[in-house]
Amino acid sequence: MHSNTHHTERAHPEKPLLQMKNIHKSFSGVKVLDGVCFDLKKGEIHVLAGENGAGKTTLVKILSGAHTDHSGDVYLDGALVRFVSPSHAAKYGISAIYQERSLVNSMSVRDNIFLGKEKTDLLGRMNFKQENDLARHVLQQLGLDIDISRPLSSYPLSVKQMIEIAKALVNESKIIIMDEPTSALNTMETSHLFEIINELKKNGHGIVFISHRLEEIYNIADRITVLRDGKYIGTSVPDRLSSKNLVKWMVGRELKEQFPSRTPFSKKKSSVILSVRDLSLNNKSISFDLYSGEILGIAGLQGSGKSLILHSLFGTFGKPDLGHMSLDHREHMVKSPAKSIQNGIALLTNDRKNNGLVFDMSVKENITLASLSKFLKWGWIQKKKEDFVVSRMFESFHIKAKSMEQTVSTLSGGNQQKVLLAKWLMTNPKVLFLDEPTIGIDVAAKHEIYKLMNQWRDQGLGQILITSELPELLALSDRILVLHRGRLSALYEQHEATQEKILRSAMGQCN
């Protein structure tokens, strides 16, 4: 066991539901887990914390049968088990909900819930009545009243998250693993999810919960176990582990501040870089200005139209219904993403896997993807020029990779996010749209991204920020625009904004 391990938990006499002892795992000769221990009790929420690349997901993938080639022992209810596949682990009552969801958008809600566990009669025919009854019963437990015959694609992420949990309940899972389950949820949806998790806990389920959000960890954990660089660092109950010490366990050093300090923003010393008039959202219109050197935050609940604003202005859906838009004091016609990039608008989306990065391409290829025209001469890529520019980006973004030829899929979440930011900065934007820029990344990587955003702000870049983490929104934004069902319900200067005011405005209440 690790020489710096810490134990500050209280004694629990009951036998663990799960024990993982001395787990070792390597990929291509690189040690990812080095003698890790972990246990879980019945009716407990045990948070697994650590930076990206600490080994958390690898550990739970061993538990769920997704990784089979490892050494060390796994005990379930005191009996030694060795899972050969996820379906084998599921038979023992273990379900996993990963960041990359296992749902199929084109299939119905019901078919997703029973995928791989279809109910059949004695002759092997599908028993849809049994599936319908069971699905409705489980979804009712989760407070969801939806049409289970509709395709999954017609529902938002928050509903998809509940459907993942419904799959686990239908499987009668004793252990439910949740890997970053709130990364795409807003404050209210997260609070609803926590109510459900606490209900599962009361019913005796053991929950393994992975999160990067400190506030969330302290809100939900019965115990916290920290991994760092594949090693076990310690286990503690939350009231014996301050958030400062938790970060120290995770990072190996103290982070002096969560949000780096910055110069106050002054509209008087700035000018409007982006002006939007009468953008149509859900049959309502919205107008706002963004100043150069400003970070404008956009807040709102699911369905308020936050991401829709950015995609409309970027041209994702073609030409939007828009009264007027000017960029850098010139009229700007939104036509397509390519045209927007050419004119100086960049959009970092909230889903780096599906519409941000090309996972089987290298770091270098991803970074230059949106700005290839800069490196073309007579139709050929100027390799030396590309290597030189990318190596500078590599250094300024502190991307941790063996080389810029390394495949993006092999990087940690935080480093993938930095590659994505580098890709958009490479286009030299005048305006940068950031939709959940710190989604699914650890405390130290977040801190680095905050510093980069402040640097760009000081250089005069206009930024529009969407984040479901309210402390982040309050700390980084110079002004905050709040939406309620496609309508602008409030606009706060930084000194006026509070979490309570933002939530009230997002719910359509007057402050």
Summarize the confidence of residues 479-501 as an average pLDDT: 90
Q: pLDDT tier at 176 (50, 70, 90 boundaries)?
A: very high
- The CA distance from 452 to 48, in Å, is 28
- Write out pLDDT tens, residues 1-47: 444 566 555 444 578 999 999 999 988 777 889 999 999 999 999 99
Sheet-wide strand order for 71-76: 30-40, 18-27, 71-76, 79-81
- The CA distance from 235 to 44, in Å, is 14
- Asked whether residue 153 carries a pLDDT value surpassing 60, the answer given is yes
Structure tokens at 83: 């899972």
- Write out pLDDT tens, residues 100-121: 567 888 888 888 888 877 777 7
34-38, 363-367, 379-383: which range is least confident on average? 379-383
- The CA distance from 439 to 426, in Å, is 21
Query: What mean pLDDT is reported for the chain?
Result: 85
Summarize the confidence of residues 213-236 as an average pLDDT: 92
Summarize the confidence of residues 364-377 as an average pLDDT: 78
Summarize the confidence of residues 223-240 as an average pLDDT: 94
Instruction: Encode 272-310: b = buried (16+ Cβ within 10 Å), e = exposed.
Output: bbbbbeebebeeebbebbbbbbbbbbbbbbeebbbbbbb
Summarize the confidence of residues 202-223 as an average pLDDT: 92
Residue intervals of the chain classified under CATH 3.40.50.300 are: 1-93+173-254, 272-506
pLDDT at site 5: 62
167: buried, middle or exposed (CB in 10 Å: 19+, 13-18, 0-12)?
Answer: buried
- Write out pLDDT tens, residues 382-428: 778 777 788 888 888 788 888 888 888 888 777 888 898 888 888 88
* Cβ-proximal residues to 19 (8 Å cutoff; 6+ apart), any chain: 37, 38, 39, 73, 74, 75
pLDDT at site 25: 92
- The CA distance from 413 to 433, in Å, is 20
Percent of the chain topping pLDDT 90: 33
HEC secondary structure over 241-298:
CCHHHHHHHHHCCCCCCCCCCCCCCCCCCCCEEEEEEEEEECCEEEEEEEECCCEEEE
Cβ–Cβ < 8 Å for 358, 365? yes
What residue type is 282 in one-letter code?
N
Sheet-wide strand order for 231-236: 6-8, 231-236, 223-228, 45-49, 206-210, 175-179, 94-97
Count the neighbouring beta carbons within 10 Å of the beta carbon of residue 201: 18
- Write out pLDDT tens, residues 427-443: 889 999 999 998 877 78
Structure tokens at 460: 């005069």
> Within 115-175, where are the H helices?
128-141, 157-170
Summarize the confidence of residues 73-85 as an average pLDDT: 93
Which one of 3.30.750.24, 3.40.50.300, 3.40.50.2000, 3.20.20.140 gives the CATH number of domain 1-93+173-254? Answer: 3.40.50.300
pLDDT at site 482: 94
Cβ–Cβ < 8 Å for 83, 73? no
CA Rg, the chain, in Å? Answer: 24
- Write out pLDDT tens, residues 291-327: 999 999 999 877 788 888 999 999 888 888 888 889 9
Angle 443-458/243-251 helices, nearest 10 degrees?
90
- Write out pLDDT tens, residues 43-78: 999 999 988 778 898 999 999 998 988 999 999 999
Question: What's the CATH number for 272-506?
Answer: 3.40.50.300
The pTM of this model reads 0.70
pLDDT at site 412: 77
Which residues make beta-bridge pairs with 236?
A: 8, 224
